[in-house]
Chains A and B, each alone.
Chain A
Amino acid sequence: MTFFQLESPYRGAYALHRLTFGAGDPVVTLVAGVHGNEVNGTYALNLLAGVLRLQRPRGTVHLLPCVNLFGAEEGRKRWPFGDRDLNLSFPGHPEGSPVERVADAVMRASEGRLCVDVQTGSSVVHEVPHVRAPLSGAAVELGRAAGLPVLWRRPSESFDEGLVGAWRAAGRTALVVRGGRGGALDLDDAKVLARGLVRLLVEAGHLQTPEPPAAGVVTTDVCDYRCELGGFFVPEVRPGDRVVAGQVLGSLRAPVGGGALESLVAGAAGVVLAVRVYPVVHARELVVRVAQSTS
């Protein structure tokens, strides 16, 4: 159904679509595509919609698979008109700017105690499917149940901004499910994300047929590896790889001639959470992220 519309000059109105499965309590809302180029989240929710069409869920499941349709249309992260970051406009305002009105509509469409923001990595970084949740609370257990390769428990201030921050400020249990890279459909990642979301809905009591359980790394200890210099980064690992201390993660080379400038080595064992895929990097940019400790 069309939950909200915004008149658009020269073309048809912007529409915020919400798919609803089931009825009654409990209620959960899953949102994707706040950034227009985060297509893996959109596809994961569409895969989840296929599951929900076959299985009548207990309670109500709302899906908003693509909030920033205009950005998606152009492959852009931001709301294209005025180049605004929709995720920085939450909680929004019903009489505010266009992005504030869209943000307000997303907040009104987000019913239920549990809300999930399904994101994709940036266009230059490929991330393994993972969950980001606060250090404690119901979100952690739900994140653990999702069984994605990594559950990254982070201090609560990491969740103060954006849609998740607005949900939390409104008293909701909120978490981020994230993977792939912006601007590109990674079918395998999207399927893993969708399976994780099914497990999460099983844990939340909405679905009864579980996906096969999967064990992931649960950690608060994530190490960012950055190149000291700028250059051309060639990775030696892929998202999801297990690495050991001392293993080469990648090398920095001269953009012209390819001469070796720097080698990045893992300081500890872990699972590769994110890898830079656009190779030209500036000094001190993130190139590899490793989830270190396991439980």
Chain B
Amino acid sequence: MCDTLGVNVPPQLDTLIEIELPAGDAVAVHRRRFVGEVGPHVVLVAGVRGDTPEGTRVLYTVGRHLESVADRIVGTIDLYPCVNPLAAHLGARNWPGLDVDLNRRFPGRADGHAPDRVAAALVEAVRTADQVVELRGGHPSFRQAPHARVAASSPLAAERAAQANVRALWKIEASPTPGTLESVLPDLIGLEGGAGNRLTDGVGLELGDGVLNLLAVMGVIPESDLPFHWAAIQRPLVVSDAEVHDVRTGRGGLFLPVLACWAEVREGDVLGEVIEPISGVCLEAVRAPVAGRVLALREEPVVYPGNLVVRLAAAAT
């Protein structure tokens, strides 16, 4: 909570880049920098897409804690609470006007249009950091359990991500999509959960605690100052690509789920039904191909054949 309106000015707020707008005003991408004794450089990035307020909330809570331990920080922590502010003010996924997905523009171009310039400025600013963590939101059509994504080729990132209080850790073997932040920062830790364009009870708290614990594990903030006991940190279900199963519909209609995110299912369990919305006829019972946990669940009910409705994490802990 704000102590008093207007007086909690964040420390060391500076401007990564300012983009002038046709109407004559400007929009800026800001950075909050916390500097302590010599130590690791950790970067926390949120809001690459404009419909991911959960990440911005997480960095708000993390920033509040860092303010309280500012004199005991070892290293440098950079917070980028919202990289895509123009989209965020509309609640839109893409950079408005140009309709460009910023997360397909990295590493960007310093002489390009606005999103390319933002991408280039961010990459330039974070490229040499010891660890970059990106807070993401899910697609607005889905609800996701808090989880981490790292490249399988980056064992150190995986080791750190396992300390981030997430329910699942997905070690991704597939090559990153070109233009994404992880495509230029292969050791990036992606933290995501909840739903796009919404705040989800519990998710912000879990991820916020996870980021703080990660900073403590890296020695950047003192463990004794954490607002929780280390033993409260969850140990994730660790999965590889082969253990993540996308369940798709075979029919078009309304998908009605019968379970919640992170529910435990057995092979063959019904995950939901696709009904014909007018006649009410059940077209398909969507079943679990394997036993596991529901990592993501479709909340937007209208589906076509082939739409992803459930993502299952199948490995044992």
Contact = CB atoms under 8 A, between A and B. Distances in A.
- Does A pair with B? yes
Interface of A: 6-10, 77, 81-83, 95-98, 100-101, 226, 229-232, 254-256, 280-286
B107 to A, nearest CB: 15
B113 interface: yes
Given A81-B302, A100-B306, A8 B22 contact: no
The CB with the most chain B CB atoms within 10 A, among A96, A226, A230, A286, is that of A230
A282 B22 contact: yes
Contact of B112 (A82, A100, A229, A284): A284
A284 B114 contact: yes
Interface of B: 19-24, 93, 97-99, 111-114, 116-117, 141, 248, 251-254, 276-278, 302-308
Main secondary structure of the interface of A (DSSP, over half): loop
Contacts of B97: 280, 282
Contacts of A7: 251-252, 304-305
A161 to B, nearest CB: 8
Nearest to B304: A98
A275 B286 CA distance: 50
A211 B109 CA distance: 42
Contact of B304 (A8, A231, A255, A284): A8
Nearest to B252: A7
Contact of B114 (A96, A97, A283): A283
B301 to A, nearest CB: 9
B255 to A, nearest CB: 10
Contacts of A101: 305-306
Contacts of A229: 20
A229 B23 CA distance: 11
B254 A281 contact: no
A10 B304 CA distance: 11
A95 B305 CA distance: 9
Given A82-B141, A96-B306, 5 more contacts: A7-B304, A10-B277, A96-B248, A229-B20, A230-B21
30 contacts: A6-B306, A7-B304, A8-B304, A9-B252, A9-B303, A10-B277, A10-B302, A77-B99, A81-B304, A95-B306, A96-B248, A96-B306, A97-B307, A98-B306, A98-B307, A100-B306, A101-B305, A101-B306, A226-B113, A229-B20, A230-B20, A230-B21, A256-B23, A256-B24, A283-B20, A283-B113, A284-B112, A284-B113, A284-B117, A285-B114
A97 B248 contact: yes
A283 B19 contact: yes
Contacts of B278: 10
Nearest to B139: A82
Contacts of B248: 95-97
Contacts of A231: 22
A238 B248 CA distance: 48
Contact of A9 (B113, B114, B302): B302
